[in-house]
Structure 1
Amino acid sequence: MSQAPGHSESLSLKLSEVLSDIGVDEKTVLKRRRMLLLKESTYKIKKILTGVNHSTYYFGSQVEGSTTPGLKSDLDILLSRDDMNVIQDWSMWQPGVKNLLMVNDETTSPGYCLLQLLKADEPSPCTCNYHRTHEDLLADGRGRTLMKNIVKPKNGSVVNGPATTYPGKNNSSAFDKVVACQCKSWPKEAQLWLSQQGIGGWPTDEVRRYCETTGCFVVPVGSKQGRNKQLEWRISTSRAERCLMFSLNITQIRCYILMKMILKTFISPQCEAAISSFMCKTVLFHCIHTTHLNQWQEHNLLACLKYCLLSLQDCVRQLNCPHFIIPENNLMAGRISYPVQQQLLAILKSIIQCEIWALIDIPIDDLGMRLQQKMNRLPVYPCGCYYHSSADMSSKALGFFIYDFFYSVRLTYSIIIRLARTCRMVPFLLLNSISILVKIYSSSECDTPQKSVCKLLTRQVCSSLGSVMASTDIDASSSISHMALAWFSAGLNSDVSSSRLKLASALYCAGETEKTEYVLGIVEEKFDLDVVTPVCACCDSLKTIKPRFVSKCKTGNEELIKDIAAFCVVFMRCEINSVPKELRYEMFRSTQEDLLERNEKDNWMDCAVVDSLPYLYFLQYKTYKHLQRGADQQRALLNLATTIDTDKNLNHRETALNLLGQCLEQENRYDAALCCYTKSRNIRTRNNAANYHICKLLSTF
């Protein structure tokens, strides 16, 4: 690949600017990666805390940062079954688990294998008749018991090869979920790759050494040309490939994104499924491997893109796109007929000859229009729509990534609480959870994302432990012990508000109204209404995302949780003495009939759960009433009513209405209180304390 001449250099720099404008810059790419790796870490910690038998990994464009809003890339999720021990040689056999031996013979395609079931009590082939009672097993002509590669669709999903595809919802991307089995050793077919370094020293020795430790997965899909399509499993080196993508510079990432835009604009509409984005990635890897790294620079972007397209053209001409790590696996085998091949060659030839002019026809993220503006071939619109619209979309997407991570952290915390409240010794279980999190954090195997997640989770559990202890203290002596206050203190920065509100709630119940007012004042000061967004694990919906929340997301990563996220406030029944009487009703919201109407997502209903902002105003109302500050009391009441009416992101509006109704009762405004309870009941007919409040209020009439 030669260096670009002067004119091409200028156009390359303009093209690089355009891609930066739509969010393909180093900062955005790194932020995308970090947020998804952090979310992946929540699953690792959840697995340790709950003992689930699978591991979760994120792969593909979203976690690589190799996408834009206009590409609308799916999120690729791989669930690795931990109840399977996939081995390549007998020394890896383990007693008491389901052992599967990777088998290659004359019937298997390159890059694929069969999975042979082994005995659980000794390292030898399974010769029993399991296959007669297990639909996922089959005995072949050689007497081997082999695992079938069956993929069953789930509700609301579509099977797409080895993946189950789920549509996106609530502003999240669609996602492909693959259930696979992991082999801890590097595939034998890829041994040679470990010793091959490219012309420019890529991949580096360090990267290749790391890749070797990632092992491989076996994915339930057979080769298109295989003899045993029902029995073949594809050998996947997804973790190594993700590492390779993380080692690329921004020009290489941009080149890959441009290839995907060309694929989506010019190739897929005419030759659907003939060429995949994974083929484009593979071609990119080969191109980087065979060139000097100093050629992959911003001013040379067009020359790099042309080199990649020429390489892709070569692959189509030969009908051979060798897998980068397992080159015997031809990714194009059986996918492209002769007429489609000729059509592809014609399309690629036209694009290569047109060079920059083909890019002008790309509508994705307004790439073509933006590029023409950079080349001074279009007037710059005063509104700057082409310069900013996609960049704003990219920022908004990052905002959702960060929100989604906050949601995942809260969901993991809610699992800890669910386990705790079913235990007789709640403080012991919470202490044990903290101990486990500290142990994970201190482990030599714990990476930076896991350490961050451990810190965020520990703060929330500390706050709950403080509240449980405070409840016991208040019941015994109407005061809060130094130990409980110490646990509260350890959890104060879990988010903007929830932990401080739990402390304020306990202080109020202990009669410490001046201290309560002080804590509530801090919460109100920190709670920027234009920025702070509610995050609740009881519901998975975010109706609107605030523009200033998005802007704040540009300034940091997970540490922003203490400045821009407001978790709902959760009280278990064992915290009842730390809760004002008005909120205690929520712990007993369900009749026996109501319990029959619940599903597994309603496990939070045995707790008192309220959104942070309404609870702040409710506690202020109660505190100012005790302090006999009537004007402040009425201001808090007005703020509570206004928040319920205007905040679209409240997840427990019915609970807030129940609190408002009881405040109005205390104001002797019974008709208004009844109206609140009725509105609450309209939101949730069953499992709602409003039913009790309505009956109680009518009886007083």
Structure 2
Amino acid sequence: MENSSLTGQTNVFQLTDEEMKKISEILSNSMFFTMTCSSKTEAQMCSILLLEFLYFSRYKQTVQRFFGGSAAEGTNIKTSDIDKMIVGPNIYVCSDPGEGKMVRGHVFLVDSSDCSQGHVKLVLLKTDKTIPTIFDDHGKTLNDMLEQKQDGKFLLSNEKVVSFWINFLQKRETSTGPPRTSRHGPCATAKNTDPQGYVKRKIGDVIEQDFAHGIPYCSQTSEGKDWLRDRENFKWPSKKVVAKIKSLSCHAVAVGDKMSKHSDVEWRISYLLWERELVWSFNDIQLQGYVLLKVLLNKYIDPVAPEELSSYHMKTIVFWESENTIDNCWHPKYLLQFVRNCLLRLKCCILSCTLKHFIDRGKNLLLWRLQDPEVKDAIRNVIEEIIQNIITYLMQCVEGIDLNATWVESDGNVEEFLRKCRLDHDPRITYDFRESREPLRLFHFGRSSSLNVNVETVPADFSTLARYIESFEENDRYITDVHASIKNPVKKIIHIRSAIILAKQMLFAKQFSNEKFQKLINFMNENSDLDAISGKLYVATCFVAFKKPDKAFEVMKKIYAASEKYDTLIYAGLCSDCKSMRVSGETLIQERGLPRCSLSKTRNLSIFHDVIFANGDLPILPDALKFECFVDRVFLVHPSVYLFYLKVLCSKSTEKKNNISLLERAVHECDATLHTYRHFNILGYCYFEHGDYEEAFNCYRISFSRTVDNGRPNAAIYLLPILVYNILQKQRFDSDSEIIYQR
């Protein structure tokens, strides 16, 4: 087992209750800022609901895509994959033949005979060849998915359905080529690399996506009805959450009981939408306990017993423990106790080989697992050791703050540990916690809209954007749970993207009236308040493209004027490690951490995002960014870098050198991120245009050094030959030019 001989071990029974509570608060506060909290999950919920809404709109309100697991919950750890359930139109499952006959479409009747709890067979009740299904759209029919049994009944085959999806995924083209596909339980799994680091935050890491095919029930399952009825006896989940769950569908997904003799035609009942609603209702302590259990599983249990337990088991343990935890225990000082209680419950489940499904309480999630007594004992021993030394183990699970080293240096002395935390770590985890809570919430909300949603929206064509706009106007009731601070910026970026496409069309036409152009600018201005900076930079981009530098300068002055009314701007992008910025005059000063701010002063904070462009934007982009279109489908630029680049373009020759210096400072402030190289390309191009070939070369050299390890395509491969060509065109080489050429 990893770290079996831990230093700094302190048995929990050696500490007083008060000492345990103090350590627990530090642990909880640290996780709040580095791993998980309810505001992060709420922001993730909003962005996931928006992504699903836009997907539904994109496919003309026929095909639905639902996210599950950590991708939906905001509880992801380094090993997390992405779970998606695809629900096609016109196919349904029902438990009552009379109910099924009232439904328009293809209907399957549930048959649970000779099936283990939670699994069913789907017998064709009625079909209509005139009503298309998702299979018809991709070269198959519903009949191709059926299997006829000896009694003449037609059953829906999970094997055939999953094979259909694997074949479908193999034909998909991504930026890194067709994905590697396989079957994983009810899912068709697709694996490809993350070429831009938007998902894994690391170039080249494998993105694993599990696609399950779900068929909705016409009404709630009998087990679901029983569970909802029993909720009256418990405080968690709240009545509001239960009411929401009542409105959500259950689904049958394509996987049978592996021990069944007819596994190929069995389907598992899924409560994905119900369960993610439960996680979305978690408070900070529930979320932190759940994430800690997942990390413990990954670091300590999986190495001794791979594939025996899963994060779904950990989630179920948290569900059960939450149902039995009283309200006044949801406080940071009780996090250690909550995790310990979850581990004790898990240990009992391991010993009895029984973990009941939280909703379908007749289903045992440990059925057919833990069959090897040695493996079972190994898991139990790991859990017992973690319980006995829970402080040391949990401190090693926290990311971003090395609490364990501080604990070891303190020799298990709690007061010394607290003193060292105050001296050596971020003050937010000790005495500044409350003042940092609201800025962090704003950060999570800003990041969810700018990355999760906008990156997917930017490459959309005009007709797709029009469908998005129409859906917001006509079907906004479907996303009432989405917070306005996320929904409104997404609406505005969709309008901005539409305007950019119209601007490109006007540039191609080369003939347009000033009145038409002004209408376009007015429309962009109306939507440019999507954040503090980037929205206005899209407007300035249009002015530069239409050769109106004075107008672009006016927009930039408005950015400074509007931003100065805020104490701090919170940066919610990926292009800098600095998370905030102050505006003073025409100077932008980036700062590392989030600001501290009491709740009464949150009006003095505002969000700003990265500027996001697509390769199709090439006609409207300034020269340095045109080259980026050749290597990336979508790319990000830090607003500070882009603003100063536009200033360089629009300034008079006497002011260019000073503005290039300001741009250089902004580039260096953003250094050491995945997007640094692009900023150096922009700076290098400005030096090239200014005739400073030595500095241009140095910038391109630095840019290459940032991508050589991860193999990421780099526009410097185009920029450097242009630089060399211009050097060669000189009639006489001065010493600097000759040195560059020799390099």
Fold-level similarity (TM above 0.5): yes
Residues 31/316 of structure 1: CA separation in 2 closer, same or farther (3 Å cut)? same
Residues 140/375 of structure 1: CA separation in 2 closer, same or farther (3 Å cut)? same
> Which residue in the other structure is 1:633 paired with?
656
Q: Structure 1, residues 635-675: CA drift from partner, whole Å, max 9, x if none?
A: 234555776788652575698479637844xx6x7999999
The equivalences for 1:145-224 within 5 A come to 145-149=155-159, 150=162, 152=166, 155-156=179-180, 159-163=183-187, 164=189, 166=191, 169=194, 170=197, 172-173=199-200, 176-184=209-217, 185-197=219-231, 200-224=234-258
Find 1:36's aligned residue among 27, 41, 44: 44
> Which residue in the other structure is 1:456 paired with?
489
Q: Which amino acid aligns with 2:31?
A: G
Is residue 217–residue 235 contact of structure 1 (8 Å, CA) maintained in 2? yes
Residues 95/550 of structure 1: CA separation in 2 closer, same or farther (3 Å cut)? farther
Unaligned ranges ≥5, structure 2 = 1-11, 134-138, 171-178, 201-206, 431-436, 581-590, 705-712, 732-743
Is residue 131–residue 137 contact of structure 1 (8 Å, CA) maintained in 2? no
> Which residue in the other structure is 2:651 paired with?
624
CA distance in 2, matches of 1:301, 1:516: 52
Q: Percent identity?
A: 17
Q: Structure 1, residues 103-154: CA drift from partner, whole Å, max 9, x if none?
A: 3232221101223456542899x9xxx9999875433333323222436486
Cα deviation for residue 376 of structure 1 reads 1.8
> Which residue in the other structure is 2:462 paired with?
419
The SS at the match of 2:51 is helix
Is residue 42–residue 280 contact of structure 2 (8 Å, CA) maintained in 1? no
CA distance in 1, matches of 2:68, 2:35: 19
Is residue 29–residue 64 contact of structure 1 (8 Å, CA) maintained in 2? no
Q: Which moved more, 1:237-246 or 1:471-480?
A: 471-480
The equivalences for 1:634-653 within 5 A come to 634-639=657-662, 649=675
- Asked if 1:16 is matched to 2:17, the reply is no
Cα deviation for residue 45 of structure 1 reads 3.7
Is residue 145–residue 157 contact of structure 2 (8 Å, CA) maintained in 1? yes
> Which residue in the other structure is 2:361 paired with?
327
CA distance in 2, matches of 1:287, 1:458: 40
Cα deviation for residue 194 of structure 1 reads 1.7
The equivalences for 1:46-445 within 5 A come to 46-51=54-59, 54-61=63-70, 63-64=72-73, 72=78, 74-83=80-89, 85-88=91-94, 89-90=96-97, 91-92=99-100, 99=106, 101=108, 103-117=110-124, 120-121=127-128, 136-143=145-152, 144-149=154-159, 150=162, 152=166, 155-156=179-180, 159-163=183-187, 164=189, 166=191, 169=194, 170=197, 172-173=199-200, 176-184=209-217, 185-197=219-231, 200-257=234-291, 259-260=293-294, 263-264=297-298, 267-290=301-324, 293=327, 305=339, 307-337=341-371, 339-340=373-374, 343=377, 347=381, 350-351=384-385, 357-362=389-394, 363-365=396-398, 376=413, 379-380=416-417, 388=426, 403=447, 405-416=449-460, 418-419=461-462, 434-440=469-475, 443-445=476-478
The SS at the match of 1:80 is strand
Cα deviation for residue 343 of structure 1 reads 0.9
Cα deviation for residue 518 of structure 1 reads 2.5
Is residue 42–residue 412 contact of structure 1 (8 Å, CA) maintained in 2? no
Residues 680/311 of structure 1: CA separation in 2 closer, same or farther (3 Å cut)? closer
CA distance in 2, matches of 1:447, 1:165: 32
> Which residue in the other structure is 1:501 paired with?
537
Q: Structure 1, residues 140-195: CA drift from partner, whole Å, max 9, x if none?
A: 33332322243648635665433537588537446552323141532233322121
Residues 340/370 of structure 1: CA separation in 2 closer, same or farther (3 Å cut)? farther
Q: Which moved more, 1:54-63 or 1:163-172?
A: 163-172
Is residue 222–residue 230 contact of structure 1 (8 Å, CA) maintained in 2? yes
Cα deviation for residue 496 of structure 1 reads 4.6
Q: Structure 1, residues 27-71: CA drift from partner, whole Å, max 9, x if none?
A: 95122212322321342242244217643334335654557xxx6
The SS at the match of 1:191 is helix
> Which residue in the other structure is 1:594 paired with?
none
Q: Structure 1, residues 264-310: CA drift from partner, whole Å, max 9, x if none?
A: 56544433333333333323433444565556666666665555444
CA distance in 2, matches of 1:111, 1:289: 22
Q: Structure 1, residues 554-594: CA drift from partner, whole Å, max 9, x if none?
A: 879x9999743231467978x96xx69x749959x99xxxx
Residues 450/377 of structure 1: CA separation in 2 closer, same or farther (3 Å cut)? closer
- Asked if 1:551 is matched to 2:593, the reply is yes
The SS at the match of 1:632 is helix
- Asked if 1:486 is matched to 2:522, the reply is yes
The SS at the match of 1:180 is strand
Unaligned ranges ≥5, structure 1 = 421-428, 536-541, 591-597
TM-score by length of 2: 0.68
Q: Which moved more, 1:248-257 or 1:323-332?
A: 248-257
The SS at the match of 1:56 is strand
Residues 494/298 of structure 1: CA separation in 2 closer, same or farther (3 Å cut)? closer
Q: Structure 1, residues 440-475: CA drift from partner, whole Å, max 9, x if none?
A: 4xx333224275444213323444555646958994
Cα deviation for residue 332 of structure 1 reads 0.9
The SS at the match of 1:415 is coil
The equivalences for 1:592-631 within 5 A come to 602=633, 616-625=643-652, 630-631=653-654
Q: Structure 1, residues 456-504: CA drift from partner, whole Å, max 9, x if none?
A: 1332344455564695899445577653342132122234544433433
> Which residue in the other structure is 2:434 paired with?
none
Is residue 75–residue 175 contact of structure 1 (8 Å, CA) maintained in 2? yes
CA distance in 2, matches of 1:390, 1:585: 38
Q: Which amino acid aligns with 2:305?
A: C
TM-score by length of 1: 0.72
> Which residue in the other structure is 2:686 paired with?
660
CA distance in 1, matches of 2:262, 2:495: 54
Residues 291/75 of structure 1: CA separation in 2 closer, same or farther (3 Å cut)? same
The SS at the match of 1:226 is coil
CA distance in 2, matches of 1:295, 1:233: 39
Is residue 577–residue 670 contact of structure 2 (8 Å, CA) maintained in 1? no
Is residue 24–residue 332 contact of structure 2 (8 Å, CA) maintained in 1? yes
Residues 358/165 of structure 1: CA separation in 2 closer, same or farther (3 Å cut)? farther
Cα deviation for residue 17 of structure 1 reads 1.0
Number of residue pairs matched? 643
CA distance in 2, matches of 1:341, 1:44: 41
Cα deviation for residue 390 of structure 1 reads 12
Cα deviation for residue 101 of structure 1 reads 1.7
Residues 519/356 of structure 1: CA separation in 2 closer, same or farther (3 Å cut)? same
Is residue 212–residue 253 contact of structure 2 (8 Å, CA) maintained in 1? yes
Residues 237/391 of structure 1: CA separation in 2 closer, same or farther (3 Å cut)? farther
The SS at the match of 1:408 is helix
Q: Which amino acid aligns with 1:406?
A: S
